């Protein structure tokens, strides 16, 4: 059994700032942003213990939080690589060559979409749909930062410049 997760003072402060945005009896509204905060603190994914801790903190049932965690694609409930790569391959990007970009990354990192590299440095996220940067296609996000008008060379440069956290 993993040790209990404690929402420390720093995290508690961040979460209470989220809670303040809503009426005092509507703490459940803070679930999504709180999950993102806790996930960021925990190497990019949330655990059952994190959900339990948030459940106690917000007085929202664990299942209600788990349901949210599994519905939204940006919340990971399994361990993933430390740096998240999201390649848009919806139509606008596809018309500008995103399929080539994606297979180049798969070959380069020797993983498929949805997998993390062996050294856990990169996670090539799945379920990536339009990232609303259609006029910059092909594009990707690395740790949520946009890189647009990609070429294979640019992709190499960007990935090589990622400093491990």
What residues line the site for other proteins (CB under 8 A)? 21, 23, 26, 28-33, 35-36, 60, 64, 67-68, 71-75, 86, 89-92, 94-96, 127, 129-137, 141, 143-146
Residue 13 or 118: the one with the smaller Cβ distance to other proteins is 13
Rounded CA gap, 51 and 154, in Å?
38
Nearest distance in Å: CB 34, other proteins? 9
- Judged by CB, which is closer to other proteins: 71, or 110? 71
Tokens of 109: 């990192």
Report the nearest approach of other proteins to the CB of residue 10 (Å).
Answer: 19
**In the 3-class helix/strand/coil scheme, how is the chain assigned residue by residue?**
CCCCCCCCHHHHHHHHHHHCCCCCCCHHHHHHHHHHHHHHHCCCCCCHHHHHHHHHHHCCCHHHHHHHHHHCCCCCCCCCCCEEEEECCCHHHHHCCHHHHHHHHHHHHCCCCCCECCCCCEEECCCCCCCCCHHHCCCEEECCEEECCCCHHHHHHHHHCCCCC
Smallest distance from the beta carbon of 3 to other proteins, in angstroms?
A: 26
Whichever of 1 and 71 has its CB closer to other proteins, that residue is 71
Least distance CB 96 / other proteins (angstroms): 7
CB of 12 to other proteins, least distance (A): 18
């Amino acid at each position: 059994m993993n040790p209990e997760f404690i929402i420390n003072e720093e995290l508690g402060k961040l979460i209470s700032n989220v809670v303040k945005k809503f009426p005092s009896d509507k703490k459940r509204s803070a679930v999504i942003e709180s999950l993102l905060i806790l996930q960021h603190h925990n190497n990019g994914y949330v655990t059952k213990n994190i959900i339990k801790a948030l459940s106690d903190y917000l007085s929202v049932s664990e299942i209600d939080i788990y349901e949210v965690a599994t519905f939204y694609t940006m919340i990971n409930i399994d361990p993933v690589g430390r740096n998240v790569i999201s390649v848009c391959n919806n139509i606008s990007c596809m018309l500008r060559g995103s399929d080539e970009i994606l297979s180049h990354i798969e070959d380069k990192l020797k993983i498929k979409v949805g997998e993390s590299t062996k050294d856990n440095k990169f996670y090539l996220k799945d379920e990536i749909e339009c990232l609303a940067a259609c006029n910059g296609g092909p594009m990707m996000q690395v740790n949520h930062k946009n890189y647009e008008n990609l070429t294979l060379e640019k992709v190499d440069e960007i990935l090589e410049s990622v400093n491990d956290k």
